[in-house]
Amino acid sequence: MGAGLTYVSPVKAVLCCLLFLCCFMGELKAQTTGQIIDEIKAMNSKVTNWPNSNGHGMLISNKAMNIFLSNKVSSYLSGNEDLSLYKNYVNINAAEGMISINHNFHQPVDSDDWVRSFVVVGARVNVANAYSAKTANRYYDNQLGFTIQKTWMGKPQTYYAANGDFRKEMDAARALMVNTLAQNINKKAEEFEQSLNALKQDEVPGQNLTDVKSKLRKTFYASLRADYLLQFSEQQSELMINSANFNLVTDNWTTFGVYIPVIPQKFMVSDDVNAQVNKHYNYPLEVFVSHTRFWESPKLGRFFLTFAGKGFVNNAVQSGSLFSADVTGTQGLDGANTVTINNGDRYIGQYKNFITPVAAGKLVYIPGTSHVGVSFRIEKNWGTYKALNSIIGIPIVLIDKKGVPAINFEVQLLLQDMNNSLKDTHLSYNKTAVGLTVGIPFSKIVY
């Protein structure tokens, strides 16, 4: 052999390679589980070391706050302007006969951050009118359209007693969570590695055993990371809800949206009872913007305050300025047609379409430990249609076995044209009515 070269037997070389491979795989496992645990510890350290500004700071991580808010905010879901932090939700409005199905396109970020913005796309359809028109052999007034909404959320703010033990108790509880999760992560990884090591070549015919193990290991640790990061966030949220170790949580969000009709509204209108009946169409395009302030207090309860502006294509029929009439072909004693007012689907008067701007406000209050609250909405219409309308509601929240809101009902008293702006017109509906809305959030939380 030449100088500086040492002979190594083939058997010894193979043993060294195997030993290096085992050490490398063990190190890879340790690095992977260690990285997951370190990431959880870093999230916890960020909260623990967050500056305490006179009782204002962080008690849980940002993603844990996303879950906390999804629980609290989803307790009120009455209309399309209300916020849901679930991927999917349904709104049913019995008074309008509308069903709206919505999907949230938010994609979670990998870092610990609050939900900053998202887009919701929905479909809205008038089911009640189609059913009633079919049974009564009347003209359909179908309404089918799509909504597109963009929501921007503010950063949640948490307040607690500056000189109290709230923060210390939360820090201690989170530290215990981290240690418990770390033990579970190591245990899961150890069990997985034992099962993986027991895998034999004949169990995966036609495949390279090393490649198979590498792929399985990569998939397992990716799933393990996602699972335990979610567990850490969920446990923090549950801790904050159950312990009520805070005085107040606030947030706000702004939504801009548009409703695009697909099928036009169709109305059968004549100038008078003896005139020819003509078809008139309306595309009720709608543009809206709303801003909501939210407060959650363990003692006082939950408050939603919303201000909204809207503009939509209105018409003479829906604004109540035309007769709703049933005109028969028989002649009366005076030779005129027989007319039944407020019955049928033929309208009498001058039809027109016009833009109606709307300014609205809504206040919702749900007591801290209650599933029943109260709401009040008021809206002022401008332009050709000037009615002042309001809704007094009683929201009812039903929860699932985990205490998470599962379905929302709101019994409503609708007060139409409170300012009597239509006194000189032919208002074709009762000014007071009872309504019911249903909100159903489902699927996974926007995280």
Asked if 414 contacts 434 with a C-beta cutoff of 8 angstroms, the reply is yes
Backbone φ and ψ for 318, nearest 5 degrees, come out as: -70, -20
What is the pLDDT averaged over residues 312-331? Answer: 76
* pLDDT 10s digits, 227-277: 999 999 999 999 999 888 899 999 999 999 999 999 888 888 888 877 788
pLDDT confidence of residue 332: 46
CA-to-CA distance for 129 and 287, rounded, in angstroms? 23
What are the pLDDT digits (tens) for 343-367? 556 788 889 999 999 999 999 999 9
Q: Is the pLDDT of residue 433 over 90?
A: no
Q: What is the DSSP string of 104-119?
A: E-----SSS----EEE
Structure confidence at residue 368 (pLDDT) = 83
Indicate the pLDDT class of residue 428, thresholds 50, 70 and 90: very low
pLDDT tier at 135, thresholds 50, 70, 90 = very low
Predicted pLDDT of residue 141: 60
How do 323-331 and 337-341 pair as beta strands? antiparallel
With a cut of 70, say whether residue 341 has pLDDT above it. no
Q: Average model confidence (pLDDT) for the chain? A: 84
What does the alpha-carbon distance between residue 279 and residue 283 come to, in Å, rounded to a whole number?
A: 14
Lowest mean pLDDT among 56-60, 78-82, 308-312, 360-364: 78-82
Q: What is the pLDDT of residue 3?
A: 45
CA distance 248 to 56: 10
At residue 438 the predicted structure's pLDDT band, cuts being 50, 70 and 90, is: very high
Pairing of strands 346-348, 265-270: parallel
Task: Quick: pLDDT tens for 155-182.
Answer: 999 999 877 778 889 999 999 999 999 9
Query: Is pLDDT above 90 for 404?
Result: no
Q: What's the mean pLDDT in 389-401?
A: 93
Q: What is the pLDDT, as a whole number, of residue 23?
A: 41
pLDDT in tens, 214-231: 999 999 999 999 999 999
pLDDT at residue 430 tops 90: no
Q: How many CB atoms lie within 10 A of CB 36?
A: 23
More confident residue, 184 or 345: 184
Class of domain 62-160+246-445: mainly beta
Question: Which of 40-44, 84-88, 132-136 has the least mean pLDDT?
Answer: 132-136
* pLDDT given at position 157: 94
Burial label for 45, CB within 10 Å (0-12, 13-18, 19+), is middle
Tokens 């949230």: give the residue: 104
What is the Cα–Cα distance from 65 to 114, expressed in whole angstroms? 7
CA distances (Å), origin 3, targets 6, 7, 8, 13, 410? 8, 11, 15, 20, 91
Percent of the chain exceeding pLDDT 90 equals 58
Whether the predicted pLDDT of 31 surpasses 80: no
